[in-house]
Amino acid sequence: MDNYLTKFEKVRILGQRAEQIANGAPPMVDITGLTDALSIAEKELQERKVPFKIRRTYPNGKIRDILLSEMQWEFSG
């Protein structure tokens, strides 16, 4: 259960990655037919190509960084 991406993390990742793309970051996927940064970010997430880590802080003070590509989630657009 620890490696599941929450809906809040998903929204934050999409927003941050879309902002990067809008500001000139190169897309990590084929963007044929995609016109806006958010669509590109969604496709990157769906294909597990977003170059991010998720930092989780636990109640006991432990901090864990998890590569986004190692996480599990149900992608529904």
Per-residue pLDDT of the chain (77 residues; tens, 9 = 90+): 578 888 999 999 999 999 999 999 999 999 999 999 999 999 999 999 998 999 999 999 999 999 988 888 765 55
DSSP letter assigned to residue 25: P
> How far is C-alpha 39 from the chain's CA centre?
12
Tokens for 45, please give them. Answer: 């997430």
Which amino acid type is present at position 66? Answer: I
- CB count, 10 Å around CB of 13? 19
C-alpha distances (whole Å) from 33 to each of 3, 39, 44 are 32, 10, 14
Tokens of 38: 């958010």
